[in-house]
Amino acid sequence: MPASHRQVTETPARSELPYCGGQSCEVAVMQAVALLANRWAVPVLERLYLGGGAMRFKELQRHVGGVSSKELTRQFTTFVRHGIVRRCEAERAGVRVAYELLPAGQALVGHMASLGEWARGRRDAPAGDAGTWLSPLTRG
C-alpha cells in the first residue's frame, strides 16, 4: 500500500521514525521518561501547573503530601538543571524560595496529560491486548 494510503493504525518502519534534534526520538523519549520516573516528579509538576505561577517550597510540599524536604529538594534540583522549572529567591523577613514552571515545563505537563489519556484508554483494554505493563496502582 502506498505510504499516502497507509492506515493510521500501522506502525512506521524503524527507518521511518523521526529524529529529534540530531538524535533519534527513541533516545529523547527515554530521557523524558527517566526525568518523570521518580515517584514525586509527576505530582510536583502537576501541582506547579495547577498553581498557575510561582509557589513556595513549603506550600508545594504541603500540597503534594508525603514528600520529604530532602526528596523535594532533589526533585527541584533535577527540574532546574533540565530547564523545566525556575528557582526564585525573594529576600524579605528571611529568604523565601519559590519555584515556577518555565515554558519547557508547561509543555512537558501538556505531554504528560496526553500520555495520561493514552494510559487511561489502555487501562480498560482486554488483558491480552493491554499486556502487563499497567501496575495495580494505575488500575484504580
Residue (of 11, 3, 85) closest to 44 by Cα position: 85
| 40-115, CATH topology level | Arc Repressor Mutant, subunit A (1.10.10)
The pLDDT value recorded for residue 6 is: 46
The pLDDT value recorded for residue 15 is: 55
Per-residue pLDDT of the chain (140 residues; tens, 9 = 90+): 454 444 445 555 555 556 666 667 778 888 888 999 999 999 999 999 998 888 999 999 999 989 999 999 999 999 999 999 999 987 666 668 899 999 999 999 998 988 888 888 877 766 655 555 554 444 44
Residue (of 87, 94, 90, 138) closest to 116 by Cα position: 138
